[in-house]
Amino acid sequence: MIVTFVHVWVKEDRINDFIQATLSNHSKSVREAGNLRFDVLQDSNDPAKFVLYEAYESDAAAADHKDTPHYLHWKETVADWMLKPREGIKHRIIAPADKSAWK
């Protein structure tokens, strides 16, 4: 399993647009083969700061996500709405070790 936290800082006047575009990407991402979880989080203290929590069964499934039409559309749509480039940080799962608990 591969988990990536994607940190995104959005221009204040584009927050609602970003949320709508990201929810559209989310609704398709959770249906991808190999997707275990795709959460969209907004910072409680800074509404312009978001974290996307992406969990995939494998590196290959995570890589396949980046080739989907919905991801490519999202990436192009939101690019100019960001204050700075997004940061994706990969993590490895330590617990739960039982793969049946991943979904």
What backbone phi and psi angles, to 5 degrees, belong to 89?
Answer: -120, 115
Q: Domains in the chain and their CATH numbers? A: 2-94 (3.30.70.100)
Whether the model pTM is above 0.85:
yes
Which pLDDT score, from 0 to 100, does residue 99 have? 66
Dist CA 31 CA 41 (whole Å): 19
Taking the C-alpha atoms of residue 69 and residue 85, their distance in angstroms, rounded to an integer, is 21
3-state SS, residue 97: coil
CA-based nearest residue to 40, from 50, 28, 55: 50
Q: What is the pLDDT of residues 42-91, one digit of tens each?
A: 999 999 999 999 999 999 999 999 999 999 999 999 999 999 999 999 99
Other beta carbons within 10 Å of 65: 21
